[in-house]
């Protein structure tokens, strides 16, 4: 298994619920290390650019409105098989379909407001990490 990096976003609903620490604990228990992190309030332009792949989908405008409704916590996570491992602990997009004990099963209210984002493949993970973080902001966790 390879060491990978993936992008995580704790979305405005979960930030509002004050569960950043709870979600970070789950990353750490899963063997994922935070190698960069930032809180920010996305602009409409940033949210549209980040989710550009969905721009033709019917939910696009609502998704962008939701993502700019409050601050988000963005982090790059590193670990063995990090992309798939992170998706596993997030759970399915629709919390009603998510496995018990996953972040979305435990904390998401709906398919629209579903607490967290995670890159879905190694290639998109690289693009998404680079969307938010420059090379100087990614820390080596070798100690
Ligand atoms: N989404 C939505 N309605 C839908 C499907 C998706 O609002 O019917 C939102 C939801 O916030 C989801 C995001 O769009 O997390 C991206 O969708 P994707 O299918 O990529 O799911 P994810 O990779 O986040 O599980």
Q: In what order do the strands lie in the sheet with 72-80?
A: 33-40, 72-80, 3-10, 116-118
Boundaries of every domain in the chain:
3-137
Active site residue 117: yes
Residues in the chain: 143
Superfamily of domain 3-137: Nucleoside diphosphate kinase-like domain (3.30.70.141)
pLDDT in tens, 88-97: 999 999 999 9
pLDDT in tens, 70-86: 999 999 999 999 999 99
Q: Is 117 in the pocket of ligand 1 (CB under 6 A)?
A: yes
Ligand 1 geometric centre to CA of 114 (Å): 8
Catalytic residue among 41, 54, 86, 117: 117
pLDDT in tens, 27-75: 999 999 999 999 999 999 999 999 999 999 999 999 999 999 999 999 9
The answer to whether ipTM exceeds 0.90 is yes
pTM over 0.90: yes
pLDDT of residue 29: 98
- pLDDT-derived band at 1 (thresholds 50, 70, 90) equals confident
104 is in an annotated binding site: yes
């Amino acid at each position: 298994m390879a060491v990978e990096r993936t992008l995580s976003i704790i979305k405005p609903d979960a930030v509002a619920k004050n569960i950043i620490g709870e979600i970070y604990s789950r990353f750490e228990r899963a063997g994922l290390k935070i190698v960069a992190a930032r809180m920010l309030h996305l602009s409409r332009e940033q949210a549209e650019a980040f989710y550009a792949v969905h721009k033709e989908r019917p939910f696009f405008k609502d998704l962008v409105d939701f993502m700019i409704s409050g601050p988000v916590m963005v982090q790059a996570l590193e670990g063995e098989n990090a992309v798939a491992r992170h998706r596993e602990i997030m759970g399915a997009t629709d919390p009603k379909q998510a496995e018990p004990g996953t972040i979305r099963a435990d904390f998401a209210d709906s398919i629209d407001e579903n607490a967290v984002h995670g890159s879905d493949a190694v290639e998109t993970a690289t693009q998404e990490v680079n969307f938010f973080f420059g090379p100087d902001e990614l820390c080596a966790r070798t100690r």
